[in-house]
Amino acid sequence: MSELLLKNARIIDPVRNLDEIGDIAIADGVIVESGALKSPEVIDLTGKVLSPGFIDVHVHLRQPGNTTAETIASGTAAAAAGGFTSIVAMPNTSPSADTAGAIEYLRRIAVEQGVVKVLPCGNMTKGGKGEEMAGIGSLKNAGVVALSDDGKCIQDHGLMRHVVEYAKSFDLPILDHCEETTLAAGGVMNEGKWSVLLGMNGIPGASEELIIARNIIFAREINWKIHMQHVSTRESVDMLRRARAKGIPVTGEATPHHLSLTDEYVKKFDTNYKMNPPLRSEDDRQALIEGIADGTITVIATDHAPHTQTAKLVEFDHAPFGIIGLETALPVCFTRLVVPGIITIPQLISKLTAGPAEVLGIRDYSLAAGHAADITVFDPEAEYVIDKNTFRSKSRNTPFDGMKVRGKINLTVVDGRIVYREGC
């Protein structure tokens, strides 16, 4: 493999509490001491930030089942353009990723066609139906890194308890879509002022909060890791804060869209503002920001959910939930969180690297010599306008098209191989 010398970058490594100007040397896919290189390609990164590769614990690749919206090839290309070197593939495909065969298929296609690391997530229940536990042991043997019924939520509390117990025995974290379905049924946006004004059925925050409370109880009782996906309400953040202060093994993620948008945007009747959980109130958004700033929320994840233009080009009530996010996560979060001084660049990087790694049980995810050369480089000063027509993703369902942002990905390196390069 070729050698690389990445020079004069601002190196930020949250695990080692490192923030300094320096060089990173790469040989045979791993980080080495610079003196070990013989004839490397030299890339000058003056003015750029270099960090461990971003990890997204919440990505829908749609393959198998809906390759018109996304494929493993296009989804991983989008990930690379967004600075992500590893992505966790959600199991709500068709067929579901609830068997060893389905996981082996995903891994094979990812090796053949993917450009970043695809970490498979297996279903908690068969078919993601929430009725019968999947074969967790065989999923573990097939190589899953976590369990989830993402897009759905187990409503049977006894079943959920057993799933968590089995997950612990196989050392697999739970990634849970927290939604009590009888309260959320028929809802298309946040229940509140704007749902009343617009005459739309609302999804109350309580539908999320009930399940988060349940999960905290099980995490405490069983002493096992439960990660709350796309947290969206103030009370959810408050419950997580209290639970973590008590040492209960729970974590939470926030998405760039919940951190930057509110339910008021739905008045545009643009289906690119329809997601689940829905965009919440400004008070909820501020609570998420507070949770990001004080460390309650340790992960930023995209919930990248591709849909075709045809699928989204219908009445708001009938459109599918979800937006894409891999290629806009860094600039949106940098613009909304770092530029106004809410968090620092090292804090943002931690939410995209060390936080996700901790959820997945990846130890010492850093730029230390001997580690895999998974690296992200971005320009913190670059200003531009997001243009969905330049995306690597097959889908275009984003609410951020036309947004002026700061922070541009320049280089993504996976196992020492450059998989995305622009502007350096």
Pairing of β 202-203 and β 117-122: unpaired
Report how far residue 375's alpha carbon sits from residue 377's, in angstroms, rounded to the nearest whole number: 7
CB 147 within 8 A of CB 170: no
- The reply to whether 303 belongs to the active site is yes
Strand 404-414 versus strand 375-385 pairing type:
antiparallel
Closest CA relative to residue 61, chosen from 71, 53, 47, 52: 71
Cβ–Cβ under 8 Å, residues 270 and 325: no
**Integer Cα distance of 112 and 397 in angstroms:** 27
User: CB–CB of 172/147 below 8 Å?
Assistant: yes
Please report how the helices 282-294 and 345-352 are oriented relative to each other, as an axis angle in degrees rounded to 10.
90
- Residue of 140, 290, 164 whose CA lies nearest to 220: 164
With a CB cutoff of 8 Å and minimum separation 6, the contacts of 92 are: 60, 123, 128, 149, 150, 151, 152
Q: Are strands 117-122 and 299-300 parallel, antiparallel or unpaired?
A: unpaired
Q: How far apart are CA 301 and CA 277, in angstroms?
A: 14
> How far is Cα 397 from Cα 388, in angstroms, rounded to an integer?
8
Residue of 13, 263, 303, 415 with catalytic role: 303
Q: State the catalytic residues.
A: 303
